[in-house]
Amino acid sequence: MLNRVILIGRLTKDPELRYTPSGTAVAKFTLAVDRRQFRDREKETDFIDIVVWQKLAETCTNYLGKGRLVAVDGRLQVRSYDDSQGIRRRAAEVVAENVRFLDWPKESNAAARGTSRTPEGSGFGSEISFNEEDIPF
């Protein structure tokens, strides 16, 4: 069995960071992903909820913002809950295991947040950094 989702899209708003009672970081954001366009149809967009945990949640919150282009690799999770009227609801979301930043932040966003342009683990340059112990020969 396999449950794997890979998406590329833009954030619809800044990620929201919270902490569980035990202190684990969790961030949520929504990704706008365009559907494949057919000849005579208008472009359609899906809005997909993304959940990110632990250090990756903090990194996404610190370095991502509305409009940023990202690739998300994770798994689909469908959960049930009771709403405020007691009606049983279902929610589908992608639990991200890896988030790659695919564009550069606008200067005004990076300056306002006081962040650098390439965070550790952002996907920029992380493919070429390695330790000698990682080389298999």
At residue 54, φ and ψ (nearest 5 deg) are 60, -140
Which DSSP letter does residue 42 get? P
Please report whether residue 103 resides in a domain.
yes
CATH number for the domain that contains residue 74: 2.40.50.140
Q: For the chain, how many structural domains are there in total?
A: 1
Q: Which residue has the higher pLDDT, 135 or 24?
A: 24
Please report whether residue 69 resides in a domain.
yes
Give the strand pairing for 25-34 and 5-11. antiparallel
For residue range 52-83, list pLDDT tens digits in order. 999 999 999 999 999 999 999 999 999 999 99
Please report whether residue 39 resides in a domain.
yes
Please report whether residue 121 resides in a domain.
no
Mean pLDDT score across all residues of the chain:
83
Kindly report which listed range (5-19, 22-36, 109-123) carries the lowest average pLDDT score: 109-123
CB-CB neighbours of 28 under 10 Å: 16
Please report whether residue 107 resides in a domain.
yes
In which domain, by residue range, is 16 found?
5-113
Please report whether residue 134 resides in a domain.
no
- Please give the share of the chain, as a percent, with pLDDT higher than 70: 77
